[in-house]
Structure 1
Amino acid sequence: MPQVRTVQVTFDCAEPERVGRFWCEVLGYVVPPPPAGVTSWEEFDRSLPAERQGSAFACQDPTGVGPRLFFQRVPEGKVVKNRVHLDVRVGTGLVGEERVAALEAECARLLALGATRVRLMEADGFDESCLVMQDVEGNEFCLD
């Protein structure tokens, strides 16, 4: 039987801490403790060569259930639709107007954090409604 592995979801971005803190708020994630020997992430960052400072950020599920998220600075900007995206599960078990109301309420909260609303995809007889959004750097995700 194959070994079950944990996964980390990695985001390429221009501003790792900004994007990471956005996702901390969206998901209720936390910033992990800094490495041994330093008292803060700021101290750790200052210990890096100048070109590496601010180049990465991470957050994790405080319950240990969800995957760790890692944000790494890359030189190029986003130019096309994501091939992989996160579905943030806010309407699980809800249908119809009740589901759309839950999606809209979460959308309003995330807009205040800097997200962008793209479109509501209404239930079609096969799939329930979901709301397509973008994070603070334009990466698509869905409220599902």
Structure 2
Amino acid sequence: MSSIKQFQVTFDCAEPERVARFWCEVLGYVLPKPPEGFASWDDYHRSLPAEDRGAWATCSDPSGVGPRLFFQRVPEGKVVKNRVHLDVRVGTGLVGEERLAALEAECARLIPLGAVRVRLLYDGNDSCIVMQDVEGNEFCID
């Protein structure tokens, strides 16, 4: 029996392109090129029926290592805490004040992009910062 080596993470959201662009900035991911025959994604979306325009977006790790992210428009808004969330690993191998400083620096970088700081979890040695993306989806800077 073979094991699965690749997977995609899917986000339900109201504005797929906006959320995709946010996560590109957070992770250093890139948006794909528009489909063949279209100069831009706007041109592609204009070719679709109105109800399908902007219904989804994707982004991927330019190195090909990380999972592809897929963002799909859904009619309902977010009303409860995520059951699954991403941990953005910026403090790996660091402890104490050094780790906390790395997490705080990343938090400061993400807030102007539209992220919201929720709370700091810190026990003197290990830490993470709980945040929300541009549509309120929780994630941690870890």
Q: Same fold (TM over 0.5)?
A: yes
Q: Which residue of 2 aligns with 1:142?
A: 140
Q: How does 1:1-144 map to 2 (within 5 A)?
A: 1-123=1-123, 128-144=126-142
Opposite residue 75 of structure 1, the aligned amino acid is P
What are the Cα deviations for residues 43-85 of structure 1, in whole angstroms up to 9, with x where unaligned?
1111111011011111110100001111111110000000000
> Does the aligned pair in 1 maintain the 2:96–2:124 contact within 8 Å?
no
- Tell me, in whole angstroms, the C-alpha distance in 2 between the residues paired with 1:37 and 1:19: 25
The runs of 4+ residues in structure 1 deviating greater than 6 Å are none
Opposite residue 138 of structure 2, the aligned amino acid is E
- Tell me, in whole angstroms, the C-alpha distance in 1 between the residues paired with 2:83 and 2:73: 19
- Number of residue pairs matched by the alignment: 142
- SS at 2:19 equivalent: helix
Q: Deviation of residue 123 (structure 1)?
A: 2.8
- SS at 1:72 equivalent: strand
What are the Cα deviations for residues 91-122 of structure 1, in whole angstroms up to 9, with x where unaligned?
00000000000000000110111100000001
- SS at 2:140 equivalent: strand
Q: Which runs of 5+ in 2 are unaligned?
A: none
RMSD over aligned CA atoms reads 1.2
Identity of aligned residues (%): 75
Opposite residue 28 of structure 2, the aligned amino acid is G
TM-score normalised by the chain length of structure 1: 0.94
- SS at 1:23 equivalent: helix
Q: Deviation of residue 124 (structure 1)?
A: 6.8
